[in-house]
Amino acid sequence: MGLADRNYMRDEYHAPRMTTALIAVLIVAFVVQCVLLYYGDWDVMSQLALSVAGLRQGKIWQLVTFQFLHSYPWPFHVLFNCLGLYFFGRPVEEMLGGRRFLSLYFLSGIAGGLLQVATTAILPRHPDIEVVGASAGVCGMIAIFCTFHPMQELTTWIYFLPINIRARTFLIFLALFSIFGTIIPLGNIAHAAHLGGILVGLAYVRWGERLLGGLSGWPGFGRRREQELAQTATRRGRPWRQNTTKLERQAPAEDFMSKEVDPILEKISAHGIDALTERDRKILEAARKKMGRSGG
């Protein structure tokens, strides 16, 4: 993702309505699932849960429907995923907007499902257990949030003990744990699905519109994205040219230094140079070039 995209997401606020609606849908779907399993005659799991056998039978819809099912009858699985959406999905939607949030959420879920069934089909001794849960989509949101806020402190609980951990460290731990669980199955947890969601989140942060711009059928991407960026630049009184860098349509050098560079210098003073993100380093490099042109 380019600097323009990241600054656009930072400057624009979107109320997280889709996250709230999605949490409500997951809870309602869990209640309906339990009612059907206990009182209905229809085999919900074989039709809607994801499995290698199901995909081989042509049940492609399972790549979407499994994301609305959860372990039952205890509600802990769905509640943990809803908490993950609340704490990570809401800030991601605030940055990206509802349409992009939903598109990336379901894309993370589908990619996670595909990686899970591929792992089951390819690696030996991996049982074809029916996969359910929104965890892959949630992991995609976690990856996006932690990448944009690497130094954010998160509080996790280990045996009722609160542990503070940086978002970047949490993401690294989650990714490594998912990789290990993908290779060596740990219980009935779909670790490969989690890993697939993480990879989609990281890919979006790294490549942005090049990853999703070709999906013309998905709302909110491609040409619409360029139009929104142009409108945002126009509202701020800045020129816009497609395929230009952020710094080519940036404010004067003084404003750039105060708004972009000074916070980074403060971060270095407080946390050291290792705390800089890739975006921070690019801004410093751009500032060096900009000052060089100003002084030349």
Which H or E run includes 146?
Answer: helix 135-148
Q: What confidence score (pLDDT) does residue 231 get?
A: 52
79: Cβ contacts below 8 Å, ≥ 6 apart: none
The type of residue at 282 is: K
Peptide bond between residue 73 and the one before it cis (omega within 30 degrees of 0): yes
For the chain, the structural domain boundaries read: 3-212, 250-296
Closest by alpha carbon to 194, among 132, 138, 122?
A: 138
Q: What confidence score (pLDDT) does residue 260 get?
A: 73
Query: What tokens appear for 95 in the block?
Result: 């940055």
Q: Are 204 and 144 in contact (CB under 8 A)?
A: yes
Give me the CATH topology for the region 3-212.
Rhomboid-like fold (1.20.1540)
Query: What tokens appear for 288 in the block?
Result: 């060096």
Looking at the chain, how many residues does it have?
Answer: 296
Q: What confidence score (pLDDT) does residue 216 get?
A: 37
Residue 283: CA atoms inside 13 Å, Cβ hemisphere, count? 21
Per-residue pLDDT in tens (0 to 9) along the chain, 296 residues: 443 344 444 445 678 899 999 999 999 999 999 999 999 888 999 999 999 999 999 999 999 999 999 999 999 999 999 999 999 999 999 999 999 999 999 999 999 999 999 999 999 889 999 999 999 999 999 999 999 999 999 987 766 778 899 999 999 999 999 999 999 988 889 999 999 999 999 999 988 756 555 443 333 344 444 454 455 445 445 444 444 344 434 445 555 566 677 777 777 766 666 677 778 777 877 777 666 554 44
The type of residue at 272 is: G
Q: What confidence score (pLDDT) does residue 262 get?
A: 75
